Amino acid sequence: MRQIHKQSVSKTSLTLLGLMLITLAFFMGYFIGGRSVEIATVPDGEGRVVGKKVPVHLQEDVAFDQFWNVWNFAKESFYKQPVSDKDLYFGSMKGLLSGLNDPYSVFFDPEEANMFMSSLEGTFQGIGAEIGLKDDKLQIIAPLDNSPAQKAGLQPGDWIVSIDEFETMGMTIEEAVTKIRGEKGSTVELGISKNGLGSVIIVPVVRDDIVIDSVKWEIDENKIIHISVSTFNQDTNQLFNEAIQEALSSNVSGVILDLRSNPGGLLTSAIDMASAWIGYDAVVIERAKDKAKTFKGVKSSQLVDTKTVVLINGGSASGSEIVAGALQDYKLATLVGTQTFGKGSVQEYRRLKDGSAVKITTAEWYTPNGRSINEEGVSPDIEIAYSLEEFKDGKDPQKDTAVAIILGTYEEPEDKSEEITGESEEK
């Protein structure tokens, strides 16, 4: 019995010793792996990544040390040396948000964050076109008025197949924007497919300073004020209020609000605009998970009794859809044109300490009557197409229809479908 006891003790000791060696080897491997980044070459003028603690809630579910193993492998084995810790870090942040599978949830490095903010301020260098993802393809949402993109013939719905010979399949919106923007006078070549059909044509576009006056207006001979809004940015409220004051002082007979090819922008500007008709009632509803928040108007309804037509098309997105959808719900305007883009999601933008930023989709937009905007868009009351040939010929059937509605001369097209009599039905 004593001999058996010694053998069992010996086996137990060996087992414990083996476990200790395995554990020690694991921690030595992890320590060496964790330290290898720190002793690797760092480009001149660049710091190191610090703070490598593993989140407690992930330790049991995700082998987070694998992230650092891949990091070390990339940093030490990539054929071009030295490898930038900064580039790996920013790239990993972009990859993190790509896991959400949402084209509007993105990470901006400091340079990209500055570019994004400059576009909201209304001044930047590029081609002057809003782009987005639809049907998993990069598309032109809207070229800005009188921009290089518009002069080059780009239109809403054009699919961007390539940017300077780089294929766009799998490319994020922000990556595409970075490649498209550039110094004034330089040229970017876009591979364009019209409506996704036919061969790809190469469209060279010369970059320029893009200065956006977001609101323009004029009063025609019929005393109808035409208000064209190209985007919702920081100057929109002031310019739109100036247009309203001129409309009221001129005692206009109606308003044509042109939101065609308007890709959206600041929510506050869209709410301010809708308030001119809606007043202090609900403009849009934000829904996230089990929560809902209603955004109401912020000023009196100065145009509530003014006959209004809103022009929309496939390039009308986000803020444009909020305004158009709200006015349609309250029956305060007639919508003329084609189906809007369907970008009805809410993004929260947060600037980080190092100048980078993150934009994450947190909710979706609904009209006051509870209609979803995201992916569905807003349907016009009167659907009228606007062809490229008409545009080139200087014709605008959508605007002509809007004028006729305000003047009371619009006649609906006759229904040319054959009537089916009761007799024929029986047959």
Please indicate, yes or no, whether residues 154 and 199 belong to a single structural domain of this protein: yes
Task: Name every residue whose Cβ is closer than 8 Å to that of residue 125 and which is 6 or more positions away in sequence.
Answer: 181, 182, 183, 184, 207, 208, 209, 210
Please, what sign has the CA dihedral across residues 122, 125, 128, 131?
A: negative
DSSP label at residue 408: T
Average pLDDT estimate for 345-370 = 92
Instruction: With respect to residue 18, please indicate whether it lies within any of the assigned structural domains.
Output: no
Q: How confident is the model at residue 35 (pLDDT cuts 50, 70, 90)?
A: very low
d(CA 15, CA 387): 80
**Catalytic residue numbers, as ranges:** 318, 329, 343
Please indicate, yes or no, whether residues 173 and 226 belong to a single structural domain of this protein: no
DSSP output for 120-175 = HHTEEEE--EEEEEETTEEEEEEEPTT-HHHHTT--TT-EEEEETTEE-TT--HHH
Q: How confident is the model at residue 277 (pLDDT cuts 50, 70, 90)?
A: very high
Range of 23-32, 33-42, 111-120, 143-152 with top mean pLDDT: 143-152
Please indicate, yes or no, whether residues 298 and 370 belong to a single structural domain of this protein: yes
Residues of the chain above pLDDT 90, percent: 54
Please indicate, yes or no, whether residues 174 and 47 belong to a single structural domain of this protein: no
Q: Which of 202, 124, 198, 208 is nearest to 164 (CA)?
A: 202
Please indicate, yes or no, whether residues 289 and 391 belong to a single structural domain of this protein: yes
pLDDT at 339 (0 to 100): 95
Our count of domains for the chain comes to: 3
Integer-rounded Cα radius of gyration of the chain? 29
Residue 26, SS3? helix
Q: Which of 260, 261, 224, 262 is nearest to 243 (CA)?
A: 224
Please indicate, yes or no, whether residues 173 and 207 belong to a single structural domain of this protein: yes
pLDDT at 59 (0 to 100): 54
Task: Name every residue whose Cβ is closer than 8 Å to that of residue 427 and which is 6 or more positions away in sequence.
Answer: none
Please indicate, yes or no, whether residues 252 and 288 belong to a single structural domain of this protein: yes
Instruction: With respect to residue 277, please indicate whether it lies within any of the assigned structural domains.
Output: yes
Asked whether the predicted pLDDT for residue 112 surpasses 70, the reply is yes
Cβ–Cβ under 8 Å, residues 284 and 269: no
DSSP label at residue 30: H
Asked whether the predicted pLDDT for residue 407 surpasses 70, the reply is yes
Please indicate, yes or no, whether residues 58 and 172 belong to a single structural domain of this protein: no
167-176, 314-323, 408-417: the lowest-pLDDT one: 408-417
Instruction: With respect to residue 76, please indicate whether it lies within any of the assigned structural domains.
Output: yes
Do the strands 201-206 and 106-108 form a parallel or antiparallel pair, or are they unpaired? unpaired
Q: What is the CATH number of the domain that holds 289?
A: 3.90.226.10
Mean pLDDT, all residues of the chain? 83
d(CA 220, CA 216): 13
Instruction: With respect to residue 8, please indicate whether it lies within any of the assigned structural domains.
Output: no
Biggest CA-to-CA distance, the chain: 116
Please indicate, yes or no, whether residues 54 and 198 belong to a single structural domain of this protein: no
Q: What is the CATH number of the domain that holds 196?
A: 2.30.42.10
Which pLDDT tens digit goes with each residue over 301-345? Answer: 999 999 999 999 998 999 999 999 999 999 999 999 999 999 988
Please indicate, yes or no, whether residues 227 and 202 belong to a single structural domain of this protein: no
Instruction: With respect to residue 102, please indicate whether it lies within any of the assigned structural domains.
Output: no
Task: Name every residue whose Cβ is closer than 8 Å to that of residue 74 and which is 6 or more positions away in sequence.
Answer: 83, 88
Average pLDDT estimate for 69-82 = 92
What is the reported pTM? Answer: 0.68
Instruction: With respect to residue 283, please indicate whether it lies within any of the assigned structural domains.
Output: yes
Amino acid sitting at position 79: Y
Q: How confident is the model at residue 415 (pLDDT cuts 50, 70, 90)?
A: low
Instruction: With respect to residue 326, please indicate whether it lies within any of the assigned structural domains.
Output: yes
Instruction: With respect to residue 27, please indicate whether it lies within any of the assigned structural domains.
Output: no
* Containing structural domain, residue 51: 39-83
